Chains A and B, each alone.
Chain A
Amino acid sequence: MDSFLFLIASFILTTVAGSLIVILRRPAEVDRIMAAQLLGTGGVAILLILATATETGPMVDVALMLALFAAFVSVAFVRDVSHPENTAQRR
């Protein structure tokens, strides 16, 4: 069971990693924020699976933390976009 859990965690890591590398090469800033958001969710999934596989309960807390702060970064981004003088300069 444990090696199956590790396998699934590695699979999720691989898909997330692949898309991260593709998305982080895109020019638009929104795509980059999406990449951060995707890694937030993927990281939560990986950590929860690892927590079950290694039977370390506190890892769930790390997942909780990741979930809270991934949203926080996106809020900071949306705030910066909301200022008109920023969009005028946008390429």
Chain B
Amino acid sequence: MDDRIVKSITRLVIPFIQLYGIFIILHGHITPGGGFSGGTLIGTSLILYTLVFGLLPSKKKFSHRMSQIAESGGIVIYVGIGLIGLFLSGQFLTNLDAGFPIGEPGELFSAGMIPLLMITIGIKVASTMVSLFHLLIEGDLDADHPGIR
């Protein structure tokens, strides 16, 4: 699919999709949506990039090392936030009693740890979708005609 029009359109559209995805993740605690749906949006934009520009350039964009870091990093941050709650107020995953700033309900920086968790889930879902998509393509390539990349 190395059609000139498709490539230029995707180059135009992908930043806006990602921007919208980040918007949904950040406003997770104000408007509907949140980590899962925002992460899927960003993941789909990267999959669109892989579809249009082929596997190898997108592997450079979202390399294997990065997906590994995003995967384990997501859980480490999540558990870290939970541990903050554990140390400060004795129960795992506590929100406001553990000193997370409540802020003004309805504002962007409000609701204590919820936006942080939403961002972690967003990164996690996006990187999982993309690495699964890459793995499935590689698996398929090896299955049909091994060796061709």
Q: Do A and B come from one complex?
A: no
